[in-house]
């Protein structure tokens, strides 16, 4: 009889998520296992499914031992010298469903739940998760599939519950800056309402709300801390991935980010799963419309709007959708630190605060106040403006920062370059994609102080040689790469 009991050796290495187990070549042969096989590893009542790798050297691993990486040890609550049993597990059922999705089949709720459960529990490799992402990107998800996927994301993660009406908002992206959440949130909190804003990090943009808020406060908080912040402040501005809310969503985003894709069905499920996970009953969705956004025209925007409303209805959430101008960046800064500075200037009512970002935030806050019945219809904007301009929203933001844990603000990138107008005229258009590409090339969102600061917007008059925007980077190499982009791509159209 083949003995399948092994002592653990902690490898003291993190894989970044996937669960990996190491065996010696001879031990693997005794169990008839090969590289890449899935193995079921049991320690008492705890068990995991891991991907097998082979240790070629006895210096790496001795016979009779299984090498486990940090993620596997954590899942098993195990340490070196603990004993585990190892069994061949076979491939997850979800792989067949993923293949079918690649071929254009519409998946059932049960099939999608299996895929999401396997993603949540790290049973799939990055290649297998990528296949699922590409299947959805190429063939799309029906409304029925999207509803099923959203529910599966919620059911396979934790959920937060609060007393009272829970509000939330989301922008589907495509517009640099547009950092309304960090302004709307404090206004809503100052009105005595609840908005547990769990945000994702940037996928294709130079910064997400979590990336920007991290310049001011901690955003990676455990569930009990987030609940304390919300109960005390009314609003938390945190990274949703830190609390296991719809965890499959964050694992899928990790795949989407390097590919720079964001499939529509996945987008809908991603947004609504997070809202459902925090118990939101009223959600405001911002769909920017413009050449570089997901909604290129009114028809695209209306189709997305309809799907969000239908998905909300299926989840028991009242969804209000607004279509906004997505033809140019909103605010002045693009990149975590620069966007955070825009937010602060607005909350502190400083004269040089960007008026476009301020006005959009006031309108959104006003809509939420009216939907909550906190104010009468038509009075929301004025109430939001009072809460902002009286300083109450800034006080609330300071309270949120203190509760989440203040962070030392990063420094602005030490290398800079002014991009100037080549001719006199009026700004006719600004290419959001080029602006975002420039900011990301400079290092955003990972280098917090990088990105660009915009001086001129659409319809502004410019003189030849006048500064349009300034690039900031932490290294000369990244700044030079950004400058090279400007040789082939025009960020501004001036006529």
CB burial readout 298-327, b (16+ within 10 A) else e: eebbeebbebbbebbebbebebbbbbbebb
Those residues with Cβ within 8 angstroms of residue 327's Cβ, 6 or more apart along the chain or in another chain: 289, 290, 291, 429, 430, 432, 458
Tokens representing 51? 């991907």
What is 269-288 written as a DSSP string?
Answer: HHHHHHHHHTT-SEEEEEEE
Whole-number Å distance between alpha carbons of 263 and 292 = 15
Q: Are 208 and 335 in contact (CB under 8 A)?
A: no
- What are the backbone dihedrals phi and psi of residue 459, each rounded to the nearest 5 degrees, phi first? 80, -5
Whole-number Å distance between alpha carbons of 480 and 483 = 5
Radius of gyration, CA atoms only, the chain: 25
Those residues with Cβ within 8 angstroms of residue 78's Cβ, 6 or more apart along the chain or in another chain: 8, 43, 46, 68, 72, 84
DSSP state of 217: B
Place of tokens 């959920």: 159
Q: Find the distance separating the first CA and the last CA of the chain, reported in whole Å.
A: 82
249 in active site = no
Place of tokens 């090279």: 484
From residue 211, give the alpha-carbon distance in Å to each of 122, 200, 376, 489.
25, 8, 35, 27
Catalytic residue, candidates 262, 286, 431, 447? 262
- Name the strand (E) or helix (H) holding 237: strand 235-239
Tokens representing 474? 């932490």
Residue numbers annotated as active site:
262
């Amino acid at each position: 009889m083949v003995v399948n009991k092994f002592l653990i050796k902690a490898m003291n290495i993190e894989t970044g998520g996937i669960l990996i187990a190491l065996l010696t070549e001879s031990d693997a042969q005794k169990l008839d296992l090969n590289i890449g096989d899935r193995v079921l590893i049991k320690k008492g009542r705890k068990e995991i499914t891991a991907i097998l790798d082979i240790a070629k050297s006895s210096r790496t691993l001795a016979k009779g031992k299984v090498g486990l990486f940090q993620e596997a040890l954590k899942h098993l609550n195990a340490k070196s010298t603990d004993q585990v049993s190892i069994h061949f597990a076979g491939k997850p059922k979800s792989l067949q469903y993923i293949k079918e999705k690649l071929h254009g089949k519409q998946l059932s709720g049960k099939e999608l739940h299996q895929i999401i459960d396997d993603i949540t529990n790290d049973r799939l490799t990055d290649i297998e998760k990528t296949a699922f992402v590409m299947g959805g990107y190429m063939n799309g998800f029906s409304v029925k599939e999207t509803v099923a996927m959203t529910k599966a994301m919620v059911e396979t993660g934790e959920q937060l519950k609060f007393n009272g009406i829970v509000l939330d908002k989301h922008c589907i992206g495509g517009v640099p800056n547009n950092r309304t959440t960090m302004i709307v949130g404090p206004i809503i909190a100052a009105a005595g309402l609840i908005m547990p804003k769990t945000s994702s990090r940037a996928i294709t943009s130079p910064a997400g709300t979590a990336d920007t808020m991290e310049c001011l406060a901690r955003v990676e908080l455990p569930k009990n801390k987030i609940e304390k912040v919300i109960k005390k402040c009314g609003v938390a501005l945190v990274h949703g991935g830190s609390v296991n809310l719809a965890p499959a969503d964050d694992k899928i985003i990790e795949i989407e980010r390097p590919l720079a894709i964001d499939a529509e069905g996945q987008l809908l499920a991603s947004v609504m799963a997070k809202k459902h996970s925090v118990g939101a009953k009223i959600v405001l969705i911002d769909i920017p419309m413009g050449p570089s956004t997901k909604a290129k025209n009114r028809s695209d925007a209306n189709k997305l709007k309809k799907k969000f409303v239908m998905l909300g209805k299926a989840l028991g959430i009242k969804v209000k959708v607004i279509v906004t101008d997505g033809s140019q960046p909103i605010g002045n800064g693009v990149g975590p630190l620069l966007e955070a500075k825009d937010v602060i200037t607005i909350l502190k009512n400083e004269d040089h605060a960007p008026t476009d970002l301020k006005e959009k935030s006031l309108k959104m806050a006003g809509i939420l106040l009216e939907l909550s019945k906190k104010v009468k219809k038509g009075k929301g904007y004025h109430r939001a403006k009072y809460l902002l301009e009286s300083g109450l929203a800034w006080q609330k933001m300071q309270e949120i920062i203190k509760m989440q844990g203040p962070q030392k603000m990063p420094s602005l990138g030490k290398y800079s370059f002014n991009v100037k107008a080549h001719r006199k005229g009026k700004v006719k258009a600004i290419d959001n994609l080029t602006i975002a590409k420039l900011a990301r090339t400079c290092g955003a969102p990972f280098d917090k102080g990088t990105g660009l600061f915009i001086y001129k917007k659409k319809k502004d008059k410019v003189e030849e040689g006048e500064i349009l925007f300034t690039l900031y980077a932490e290294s000369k190499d990244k700044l030079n790469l950004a400058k090279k982009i400007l040789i082939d791509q025009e960020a501004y159209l001036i006529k």
